[in-house]
Structure 1
Amino acid sequence: MKKLYALLAMWLLAGNAFAQVLVNETFENGNTVDQTPVGWIGDGGWKAGITIPDDNTARGRKPHTGDWYMYATYNTDVWIYKEIDVTAGNYYRVSFWYATWHVDHFNLEVKAGASANPSAMTETAVPMMVVANEDFEQTSGVFQATSSGAYYVGFHSVADNGPWYLSIDDIIIEQTAQYNFNVEQLTADTSVYFGEPAYLRFRLNNTGEQSDTYQLNSTGNLPIEFYQNGTQVTQINVSYNSSVELVAKTTLPMNLNNNEVVHATFDVVSSHSAPTQSADFAITALAPYADFPLEEGFENDFVPFGWQNNITNGNYAFDRITEGSTPSAMPHEGSQYMARFYTYTNPSGGSAELVSPKMDLNEHDNIVSFWMFRNSNPNINKDDRINVYYNALPRSEGGQLLGTIHRCTYKEPVVADVDDWYEYSFTFDCPDDYGFIIFEGVSDYGWNLYLDDIFINSSSEDHEAPTVIAVNGNQTYADTEMNLTLRVHDASDMPATLAATYTIWGVSHDLTFTRAGKGNYDYTATIPAYDNHTHGTMTVQLVDALGNSALSEEIPIRWDYQRPLLYETFEECSSMFTMPEGWTTDGNPTWWDWTVQGTVYYTDYYEEDFIVNPHRGNKQAVLEWDSSESPMAQDQTLITPVLTITRPTVLQFWTWVQYGTDGYDRFVVRVYDTYNGTWDDKWDAADMPYGQINAYNEPISINLDEYIGRNIKIGFRGYNTFGEWLAYDWFVDDVKVVPTDTTDVNVNELAAMKFNVYPNPAKDKVVVEAQSNIQQVTLMGIKGEMLEDRKANANKVELNLEGYSKGIYVVRIVTEDGVATQKINLIE
C-alpha cells in the first residue's frame, strides 16, 4: 500500500511540468524504533515508529500508509530537520499527513532556513497550527528559498498534554513553479448540425504558486466565445493551486459537407511567465436530416444518433427499457425497446426533453406521429404527460406546442379505460426551413411515461396504403372459435370495417373485420371452430379513408390440439390464502395449510436454507412445514375442481420437492374417483431417489386413461407417517390436465414465454433469444412453408437470412416451456 501511495503521488506531480520531487519520505527503509529517522537531523525528540496494534498502547503512534512513520512525544518542544539542495528565488512545496490521539492537542509548524537550528528557520511553509485529529489529514505549504545550496526544512512540535503522541507520515518536498497552468478538455469530440452551436467544456488548472490572469484567444476558422457560469469572458483570473471550469461556444456555418470534421481551437495565455497552452476540439458537422420519413423505435443506440436527451428540471432524463412497470407495459408491437420518462418517484414538475435531429422540413404541412402507452388506473389519476413541440431551436422554450398527451386515459385526450398503446399525430409548419421536434416528459409524481415508434415526415399527404402491424389470435385450439385482432397502421383515417378472405382446405370464405372502439386502427373478427390440425390462410383488403389500398400478405391460421381440461398457474390468486376458483383444501386445521406465495425463503427442519422461486410467473402453491412444531399432526391436501375425463388424458405439473425424504414425509399425488368415492395414490416423492431435490427441474406426468368416462378430482397431499409435523416444504406450480395430443403445445402459454427476435426489421440475420433453453428453431414463410429447421441447445440462436427476399417471415421455437412463434420483417 505504501508503494501504491508513493506511485500515486508521483503520478499526480507529473501533471505539473515544473514539479521536481526532492524528498519522498515514507520512513519504510532503514529505521530503528524510537531512534531519529534515517536521513533526518534531530536531538531525539522526533523518533521513528512502527505499527502498534493496540490503540491504548499506541496512543496516536501510527502510520498513514505502510508500517513506519515518525512521531513527537507529549510535553515536549522539539525540532527535526531535512536537508535539501535549493536555488535562491525558487519555490518549494512541503506536503505531509498528520494525526494524534484524543483531544489534548499538539501545536505544529513547518519552516525552512539556511541551517539546522531554530533561529535559522526564517521561511514559513506551514504556519503554527493546532493538531487534534485522530484520523490522518493532509496539509501543505510553500516557501521561497533565500539562498542557494544546502537548505533545511524543519518540523517543530510544541506540546503540553497527556501521554500521547503526534505522528507524521508520507512527506513530499518538491520544487514547484511560481507560474504554471494547464488546460483540460472535458468535452469529447462531438457531432453538431450545420448552423447549430457547440458547447465545449474545459477546465483551466493553475498549478503554480501564484495567482494569474489568463487571456482566452480564438485561433482557428471557427469564431469562439468563452463563458464562465453563463457570463461571457475574454480573460479569467485563477488563484494559485485552484481550477475554474469554462465553456467555449462556437456555431457551425451552413456551408459545410455532411460528416466533415472541423476544429475549434484556441490559446490560453498567461499574463506572467507560464507557457501558452492550446486546445483543439474536433467537431463532426452533420447536415440537417432530409431523408424522410424519419422513423425511430429506439432499437439501436440510446440516445439515437443525432437526438438529444436533456434534463430540464430534477434528476431524470429519458432512458430506454425492455419492460416497464408502474404501469406494466412491453415495447410497442413486440419490439425490443421503448423510451421511458421515469415519474414513479420523480417529484411533481420534474421534466426532460427528448429532441429530434435537426431536420430540413417543408414550410407547410409536416407531420409527426408516435405511439404512447396509456394507463386507466383511476387511483393514479395524475397529470403525468408528454408535451410535443416544434421549434427552430433544440428546446421546448419558445417553441410551438403541438399537443399534450396524458398518461391517464381519464385525462385529455380522453379514451376508453383500456391500458394500451395509442397513436397520436400532429401536423405543423416550419417557417424557419430547419427545425426540431421535442418530446417533453413532465412528472406529476404518478406513473411512468412510455414512448415508441416515432414517425416524422416533411409532408402529411398520404399516398401509402395501410400496413398490417400485428395479427393476434390466428392460432387456437381445435373445436374453438378463432377470435382475431388485427392492428393496422396508416397516416390517414380508417373505415369502420375491412373485408377479408380466409381459405380452408382450398375453399374460400368471406370475413369482415370490425374496427374496435378501444384503440387506433384495431379490428376484430371471428372465424368458426374447426377440427384439430386444420390449417389455412387469410388475406385482408387494406384501405384507408383516402382510397389508398393494398392486399395484405397471406396470414396463416391454425387450429391445433385440444383445450386443456385444467391449466392452473396460481397467478390470479388475490392473496396467499385464496385458492384458485373451484380449488379446495382438506386435512387437519393447523397454522400451516396450503397457500399461494411468490419467492419463498425457507429453512427446513434440519436447518438447511433454500430460496424457491415460482417455476414461471410470480406465484406458486406451497405447503410449508410446521416450524412451530405444534402437537397436531400435519396432513393437508390441495384439491382441484371436478374434471370429466372423456379421452386419453395426462396430468402434468411442476414441483420443487425433496425426494426420498428421511423424515418420513410423504408428498403424494392422488386421484379421487367420484364414481366409487375412493382416493388412489398415483405418485409419491418418497419413492424417488433418496436425497435428490426436484427444483422445478422437470415436470411430473401421470397417465389418467383409466378414468375415461369418470369424474375425478386430483389431490396434492402432504403428511408425516409418524403423525407429526413435516420436515420440508412442498411447492407445486403450472398444473395441467390435457388430452395426450396437447402436452407438447399449449396455446395459452405462448404469450407467457419470454421470446425475442432482433433486430426486427432485419437485413441479413436475426438473433433468437429465450429465457429458457431453445431446443428447436424453425424459419417459415408467411404461408407456413418451412424454410429452415434445426436443432439447438442454447438460449440464444442466430439465423442467417441471406438469400431470402424481403417480406414477412415467421420464427418458431420449441423450449421446455412450450412452443411460440413471432413474425419478422426482412428488408433490403
Structure 2
Amino acid sequence: MKRYFSFAILLALMLSIFSLGYAQVDPVDTFPFVEDFETGQTHNTQVQGWTQILDNGKTKYWTANSTFDNYNRAPRNGSFNAFLEYNSNAWMMRSFILEGGVSYDVEVWARQDRTSGATLAMYYGDDSTIAAMTNTIVAQVNLTNGDYQCYSGRITPAASGTYWIAIHGTATYTPWYISIDDFMVKYSPTEPMFAISPTGYDFGSLLISTTGSQTFTIMNAGVGMLNVTGISPLSDGFFSVTDAPDFPVDVTPEQPVTFNIQYAPTAAGDHSATFTITHAGGTESLIVSGSCYDPVIYDLPWIEEFTDTTFPPSNWSILEGLYDEEGFTTSPSTGRWTRSEFAHISNPSARINIYGTTTKHWLVTPPIVIPATGYQLDFDLALTKWNSTSAVDQDRQQDDKFIVFIADNPEMLGATALKLWDNAGSPNVYNAIATTGEYQVIDLSAHVGTRYIAFYGESTNSTGNNGGDNDLYVDNVRVREIPTAPILAYNPDAINFGIIHANTLTDYIDVNVSNIGSGTLTLDTGDVSLIGPDAVMFSFDPVNLAFNLTTGQSGAIPVRYNPTVAGTHTATLRMVYNGENYDVALSGGAVGENALYESFEDATFPPLGWDADGWDHSTFYSVDGSKCAFKNGSESTQYVLSTPMLAIENDSRLNFWTRCTNSTAYLQVVYSTDRETWTQVGSDFSFAEPNAVNTWYNVDVDLSTLSGNNYYLGFRTGLTGGSYYVDMVVGPDIAAVAPGAPTLVSPRRCSHLCERHSHLHLECSHHRWCAHILQYLL
C-alpha cells in the first residue's frame, strides 16, 4: 500500500500539481458570504475549509495567521488572515451554489511586502481543478506593498449549479509573503447603494492648537445614480467639514466624491463628533474622534527625576545637530541620550555618551511657561569615564563640550546658550565636572515666556588629546522661583558598599551636600551622626565640616564601610538642619577573612588557585574595579572558569555578577573534585527574556546540597556563541588543602645539612584570603 501511495505522490509532483483537501464542507448557498478566517482556523497551519492545489512543483500552502504582523502580515480586520510564503504557487478553492442569470460580486483584500514578485488572480469553474478554472473573475495582477488593496470582479453564471471559486497566488523569492483577508461573495446590486470610506476615523492624539485632517470618500457601491443631499452639522466642537462638494450631488459607481473633516483642538481631553450624511436612500452616521494633549508646563515648581523607565520622558525629545553660533539646524534622533544610574552609583538620570566625531545631541524639555522674573533652572550634573565610576583623564577629550540652551521653539533654532562647559578657556571646565555629582543653578529672569530648555553634548574630534569616551549625567531638572532662604539638598540618598572581607576598609564615598536656596547654609560636625544597629561598621570623615555653603556651593562628607565581623550591615548617616533630618541609607556585606572574594583586578590571570580553561581578562566591562573575567562561547565546546578548592558548609552560597551578548546563551555553575568531571548545581542562568543581553545580573546560588565537602566551583559557558562575562565572585572559605610532598631541588650538596625534623614554613601573601600558614614535617 505504501508503495502505491508513494508512486501517487511522485506522479503528482511530476505533473507539478498536488491537491490537499479537508473534511467535506457543504457548498455556500447563502449570500453575502464572508471568509475573514476568524472561525475554524489555527494559527500557522494550512487554511481550513478550502481545497488547496499546489502548482508548478511548489510546496507551500496558504496558511492561517493570528500572531505574525511583520512583513505586512497583520490582518486587515479582526484577529486572523491568511498568507502565502515566498517561492510559491498555490490555488485555494471553495464551492458555491449559484443561480443562473444572477450576478455576483466577488472581492478579496490583498497586499505583499515588496514592490514586485507577487501576483493574485481569481477564477471560477465547475470543478475543483486548475483545468476547470476557465472563467476569470480578476485577471492576474501584481500586488503592491503597503495597505491592503481590494481586488474585485463580477460573475454571472449561465446556468444554476455548483461552482468553485479559486484564489490563485504566486510569489517569487523577492517578497517574503502575500497576505489576504476579507474574501466576500455577494449579490450584485440592482439599485444605488451608499458607501463611505473610511466608515469612521480616530485622529489619535494631537498636540494642542494643531490640526489634523482626514479625507472621506462617498461611493455608489450599486448601480445607477446615488443622490447625496448634504452633511450636517458642518462643525461640531473641534471638528469641522471642509472641501465638501456643492450639495446635492449625484454619485455614480465610476465617480465618487470626497470631503475632509478637520480636528483642531484648543483644549486638552478626549473629543468626538457625529456627522449625518443624507442621501436618497436615507441617512448614514459618520463618527469621528480624537484626543488632545497639552505638553506645556504651567505649574511651577516643576521637576523631572527620570524615574519613569520610558525615555525620553513624556513630551521630551532628542535632537541631533551641530551647534554653530552662526546658525544651525536640528533633526529628531534617538541617539546618544539614554536613561542610566546617576554617575553609575545611584538613582536614575539622563545620560549622554560623549565620544568620537559625531556626538552633537540635544535633550529637550517640554515647553515651560516662565511667568515672570525671579525663576531659576537647577539640576545635578556629573561626568565619568564611559561605563565606569572613575574620573575622566584630564589630558583627554579636549574638544568636548556640554552646553545648556534655552529657546522659544522645540527645534532649538536660534537658541541662547545659558552655560558652557569646555576645555578651551571657559570658566566652567568640562574635565572638572564632579565625578560623583555637583549642583548647578542658572537664573532664568531674562527668559520670561514659554521656553524650551536643552542639554547639549558635543564631540567632533577623536585624534590625539581630543580622544576620550565619557558619560555625562543630568538629573533632578527643576524650574522654580529663586529661593529666599537656604535649602539643603544632598546625594546620594543611599549607598551600598557591596561585599568586602571583614576587618578591611572600603574607599570613601562622598555624600555631597548643597545649598540649593539662597543665603548661607551652615552644617556643623555635631549635626552629622551615624545611627542604627550597625553604625559601628561605618564611619564618616568630618574633615570638611563645618559647612558654610552659599547658593550653589557644595561640600562632601566622606563615608566608608569598615566591618569587623562577617554579615550584612545597615546604618544611617543622619544630617540635621533646621530641625529636620536628612538621611542617607548605608548598607554593606562582609565575608570571613578566608572567604572567596575575587574581582579579577590583578595583572595576572587566572588569579592564584583558579583555572582559566580559555577564559581571560577583560577591561571592556566591570562591576567592581576595571576588570572582569571573559570568554567567547562556542556551539561545540563548553569552557569552565574554576575557583580554588572551597570548603562547602550547610549555609554556603555562591554570589556573582554576569552578563552576555547573546540572548540564547546560558551560564551554568558546576562543581568538581578534580576539575575533570563537572556536575551542575542549581539551574541554568538564561539571558533570554525577561532578562536582556548586555546587562549585568546578580546571581546567588544555594550550595547547601554540597555541604560537608570540598569542591572546585566553576562557571561554565553554554553551547552557544556570544561573549560571557563574570565579575565580583563571593563564596565559601578557601579550603586549606595540603600540597603534595615538596622536592628539594637546590642546593643538593647541602641537603645533608637539613635537620631531620626541621619544619617547612609556607605562606601565600598573594591574597589576604589565602594567607594560610601551613607546616609540614619533612
With the length of structure 2 as denominator, give the TM-score of the two structures: 0.48
With the length of structure 1 as denominator, give the TM-score of the two structures: 0.46
